[in-house]
Amino acid sequence: MRKLIIILGLFFLGGCMYYSIRGSIPAHINSISVAPIVNETTEFGIGDRIMTELTDYLIKQNILEVLNENEAESRLTITIKSLDDKPLTYSLNNKTNTNYERVEEWQIQIHAEINWHDLTRDESLLKTNLSPWGAYGSGTDISTDKIDNDNDGKVDEDDDDEFGSPRESAIRIAIDKLSEQLVNQITSTW
């Protein structure tokens, strides 16, 4: 009897989890296409990197089937408006008597316009702007910079996504965040 209750509980819980995620998307939308990403920045290849990461993330999350535009019921268009690379934290340069500030951490922030469009009913489902970011230090390896590069509370060897050259890693982190935030927006639209 106890096993039956546990099995029924797991079945019910699993059904509710599926409903709570899938139930927030309009019932007639089962697929999505991602239009070629428009890159209005000078950062070469950023659109392709976002397209690859986002498509992989959508497939991994298995919320909507990713199809080409001729077959999909919805279309996602993304325009990368800017990529800011700006100082985040400063410190005094104590090595000289000049007391000039020195940049300790930099922040990469991607500004993207998002439009998720229902191709069946010809209406916009979601229009939003997202601005995810990643941070990096002035060293040569992000895995030893003692910075929480993605604001997840983990630093260096305790964080499995902190690896590689600092600036490129910060861009990768911002792209990962963009994919995650976008899918969260899509699933919470309705």
**Could you state, in chain order, the average pLDDT of each consecutive group of 10 residues for the chain (190 residues)?**
53 46 75 97 96 96 94 97 92 67 87 97 96 84 65 67 77 94 86
pLDDT for 18 = 40
- Total domains present in the chain: 1
pLDDT for 37 = 97
Domain at 30, CATH number: 3.30.160.150
84-93: long-range pairs with CB below 8 Å, 24+: 84/108, 84/109, 84/111, 85/167, 88/135
pLDDT for 144 = 66
pLDDT for 94 = 61
pLDDT for 131 = 98
Q: How far is the C-alpha of 57 from the C-alpha of 54, rounded, in Å? A: 5
Residue numbers of the domain that contains 122: 2-187
The two three-digit tokens of residue 154, written as one number: 């983990």
